[in-house]
Structure 1
Amino acid sequence: MADVADKLRRLRIDSAAMRRPAAAPEPVPATRRRVPGAAVAAAMMVLAAAGAGFAAGRAGERSQVAAAPPVVVAPTPTAPVASVVAAGHVVARRQATIAAPVTGRIDHVEVEEGQRIAAGTVIARIDDAAAAAQVDDAAASLRAAHAEIDRLAARRREAAATQLRFDTLDARGFARGADVARAAADVAAIDAELVRARALVDVGAAGLAGARVTLSRMVIRAPFSGVVTRLSAQPGEIISPVSGGGGFTRTGICTIVDMDSLEVEVDVSEAQIAAIRPGQGAAISLDAYPDRPYAGRVLAVVPIADRARATFRVRVGFDRIDARLMPEMAARIAFQDGART
C-alpha cells in the first residue's frame, strides 16, 4: 500500500511550474541568417550560365541544320495491289475428241494416253476391206467408160468414111438419097453416144475419187499437235459418227489437248466485274504448286452473265507456259489494280 501511495504522489502536477512564464527562444546569430541568401544567389548564377550555354548550343545546331543541303528521297515503287481475287480452273482453249467420219470396226489404235503427238499422226485404223473394194469397183467402171469411148470413136471413124463415100457418089449422081441420109444419121447417132460415154467417164472419175476419200477416212489422223489425255476405244469395237447401237458403239476414239493453248477460266461476281478489263495484270496461283506463282493477263471478259450464279466468265492467259501446267488444275487469280504495260 505504501508503494501505491508513493506512486500517486509522483503523479501530482506542479501548479507553481504552470504559473511561471515561458523562456524566450535563443536568438539566431546574424551570420547564420545571411548564409542561405548567398547560396541561393550563387545557385542562380550557375543556372543562368548553364542556360546561356544551352541556348548557344541550340542556336549552333539550328545554324548547322539550316546550312545543311536538303535531302531528296526518291519514291519507292510498290508492288501492284490485288483488287479482286477469284477461283477457277486451267482449261485448254484448243482440244478435240477425235471420232471417225464413217461407221466401221476399229482394227488398230496407234496412240496411248499421255502420248504427245504431232499433227497428221495416225491415231487409229478402221477395217477398210469394203472401202477398198469400192475403190476397185469405181476404177473398173471408169476403165469401162473409157473403153466405150474408144469403141464409139472407132465406129464413128467407120461411119464417117461411109458418109464420105456416099457423099462422093451422090455428087456424081450414082447414089440414092436414102443411102446418103442414112450415112449422115449414123454419124450423128455415134456422136450422141460419144457425148453420153464422155459423161459416163466423168461420173466414173467422180465415183473413183469418192471411193478413195472413203478409203482414206478409214485412217484417223490427228488434226493438230497435242497430248492424248483420254483413250475411249479399243481394237475390235465399232465406231460411228452418230450415237447408236446402245452401249456397244463408240462415238470417239480419243481426246487431244493442245498444251500451248492452256489458260485459266474464273467466275467473277457481278459486283466486281467492273474492276476487270482485257490486258489487266493477274497473279496466278495453282493449288498444285502454291510456291510457284505465274504471271498472266486478262484475255477477255465473256460478255454474258450467269443468271443463276450472278457471275461473269473471265479468261486469263499465262505469260509463260511450262510442262507443269495441266488441264483442270485448280487455280486462284489475283487481279491487279493497274493494267499491264
Structure 2
Amino acid sequence: MTAPLLADPSRHDDMAARLRSLAIPRPAPPPGPAGPVPGDRRAHRRVALLAGVLLLPPGLWALAGRGPALLPEPAAPEPRAVPVPLSPPAEAASIVASGVVVALRRAVLRPEVTGRIVAIAVKAGDRVAAGQRIARLDATLAEADAALARSRAAAAETTVRIAEIELRDARQPLARLQALARRQFASDADVTAASLKVERLEAALVAARQALDAARIEAGRAEAALARYGLDAPFDGVIAARLAAPGDMVTPGGEDGGAGRGVAVLVDPEALAVDVDVAETGIGRIALGAGAGVTLDAFPDRPLAMRVATVLPEASHEKGTVTVRLAFPPGVPGPAGTPGLPAGMLPGMAAKARFTAIATAMAPAVATAAATPIHRKE
C-alpha cells in the first residue's frame, strides 16, 4: 500500500516552503520599549501555515486521503407551527336581522262609491265585528232609485196575479164548452173562440212573469247600489285609526292623501307576525321552519320563539335584503304562559331576530341532496 503523500519528510519540507512562499507579508510591529518578543515570530509562522493549509486545492485534499469538513452541513429547517383556523363560534354562524311587527289582516276601509259621509259609528280603539256598520254616506238619490225599483217590482207582481186570475176564469168556460160540444150542445166555433182566449191569456201571463223577473232584478241592483253607500267591517278587529269625519267627501281611490284616503283602518290584533330584512348573503342559509329568537324593542326582557313562515319572493335592490316573515308556531304559549300572542304586542313595533336553528333546518335538505344518485348519460 502506498504511504500517504504528507508522510514523506522531503515532500513535507517542500510543501512547507511553498506555503511560506504563499504567505502574505505583513509589516513587523514596532518594537516596544523592551524590544520584540521572541514568541511572536513563531506565532506568525503558525498562522501562515494554517492559512496555506486552508488554501489547498480540493484535489490535494483528495490525494491526501483527508477532507475535513470546513463548512458545517446545513441544518435541517426546524418545523414551524402552522396556525389552524378554528371553527367559528355558534354566534358567528347565526344571522341577526331587524324588522317590525306586522298585522296579517289589515284593511283601509274605503267606500265603493263617491259620496259625502253622513255618519261614522266608530272611533279609534273600538272593537268591531264582521259586518258591523262603520260609516254611512249620503244616499238620497240611491234610496230614491231603490224605492222606484221596488215599486216597479210590486207592480209587476200585481200584473202577474191579474193574468193568472184571467187565465183561470177563461179555462173554466172552455172546459164547459168542450163538454157540451162532445154531446153536440155547443158549436165548434164557440169552442175555438174560447180556446184562443185561453191561449192569449197564457201568453200574457208568461210576459207578465218575465216583466216581474226584470223588475226584481232592477230592484236588486238598486238595493245593491244603495248598500254601497254604507261601509261595513270585513272581519273582526280593532279600529286603528279614523281617517275621515262626517261631511267629508270620499271616493273609492287609493292612499293618495286626498279624497281616496279612506274612512278608517281596521286591524286584527290576533293575527300578527314579524317581518325582518335579511341580507342577500345570508338568505341562502335560511329555510322554512327555521327557528328564530325575536326580541321587541318595547319588551327587551321578553324573548319570543318564532319560526320562518315564508320568504317573500322579491328582494330589495336598494337595501340588498330579502324580507323573511316569522310567525308563532301553532300551540306555543306567549311569554306570560297563556295561549295566543304576547300582551302588548302591536303592529309597527320594532323587532330584532336571531336565527338560531339554521344548520338544523338545512340539514335534511343537504342530506337528501347527498343521497340522491346522479344518473349520467353514457
Q: Same fold by TM (over 0.5)?
A: yes
Contact 1:166 1:175 (C-alpha < 8 Å) held by counterparts:
yes
Give the Å deviation of 1:184: 1.9
Structure 1's 287 and 157: CA in aligned 2 closer, same or farther, altered over 3 A?
closer
Query: Higher mean Cα deviation, 230-239 or 305-314?
Result: 305-314
Query: Aligned to 2:248, which of 224, 228, 237?
Result: 237
- Counterpart CA distance in 2 for 1:211 and 1:324 is 45
Give the Å deviation of 1:168: 5.5
Higher relative contact order (CA 8 A, sep 6+): 1
Partner of 2:146: 135
Contact 2:292 2:357 (C-alpha < 8 Å) held by counterparts:
no
1:263-312 deviations in Å (ceiling 9; x for gaps): 11112122212221222221212233334333322222224433444322
Structure 1's 336 and 149: CA in aligned 2 closer, same or farther, altered over 3 A?
same
Contact 2:289 2:308 (C-alpha < 8 Å) held by counterparts:
yes
Query: Aligned to 1:305, which of 306, 315, 324?
Result: 315
Partner of 2:3: none
Partner of 2:236: 225
- Counterpart CA distance in 2 for 1:256 and 1:158 is 61
Query: Aligned to 1:333, which of 347, 350, 353?
Result: 353
Partner of 1:324: 344
* Structure 2 counterpart of 1:262, one-letter code: L
Task: Report the count of equivalent residues.
Answer: 260
Give the Å deviation of 1:252: 1.6
Structure 1's 291 and 167: CA in aligned 2 closer, same or farther, altered over 3 A?
closer
- Counterpart CA distance in 1 for 2:327 and 2:200 is 72
Structure 1's 194 and 224: CA in aligned 2 closer, same or farther, altered over 3 A?
same
Report the TM-score when normalising by structure 1. Answer: 0.66
- Counterpart CA distance in 2 for 1:251 and 1:200 is 42
Report the TM-score when normalising by structure 2. Answer: 0.60
- Counterpart CA distance in 1 for 2:297 and 2:168 is 85
- Counterpart CA distance in 1 for 2:267 and 2:305 is 22
SS of the counterpart of 1:271? Answer: coil
Partner of 1:269: 279
Partner of 2:156: 145
For residues 170-181 of structure 1, what are the structure 2 equivalents within 5 Å? 170-171=181-182, 178-181=189-192
Q: Which runs of 5+ in 2 are unaligned?
A: 1-88, 335-340, 362-378
1:62-99 deviations in Å (ceiling 9; x for gaps): xxxxxxxxxxxxxxxxx974611111122111111111
Query: Higher mean Cα deviation, 168-177 or 290-299?
Result: 168-177
Structure 1's 114 and 88: CA in aligned 2 closer, same or farther, altered over 3 A?
same
Partner of 1:207: 218
- Counterpart CA distance in 1 for 2:165 and 2:239 is 60
Q: Which runs of 5+ in 1 are unaligned?
A: 1-78
SS of the counterpart of 1:260? Answer: coil
Structure 1's 331 and 242: CA in aligned 2 closer, same or farther, altered over 3 A?
closer
Query: Higher mean Cα deviation, 291-300 or 87-96?
Result: 291-300
Contact 1:238 1:248 (C-alpha < 8 Å) held by counterparts:
no
Partner of 1:53: none
SS of the counterpart of 2:194? Answer: helix
Is residue 121 of structure 1 aligned with residue 132 of structure 2?
yes
SS of the counterpart of 2:270? Answer: helix
Give the Å deviation of 1:172: 6.0
Query: Aligned to 1:99, which of 82, 104, 110?
Result: 110
- Counterpart CA distance in 2 for 1:263 and 1:248 is 30
SS of the counterpart of 1:327? Answer: coil
1:222-269 deviations in Å (ceiling 9; x for gaps): 1122222222221112233246xx987345211111122221111212
- Counterpart CA distance in 2 for 1:172 and 1:279 is 91
Give the Å deviation of 1:159: 3.1
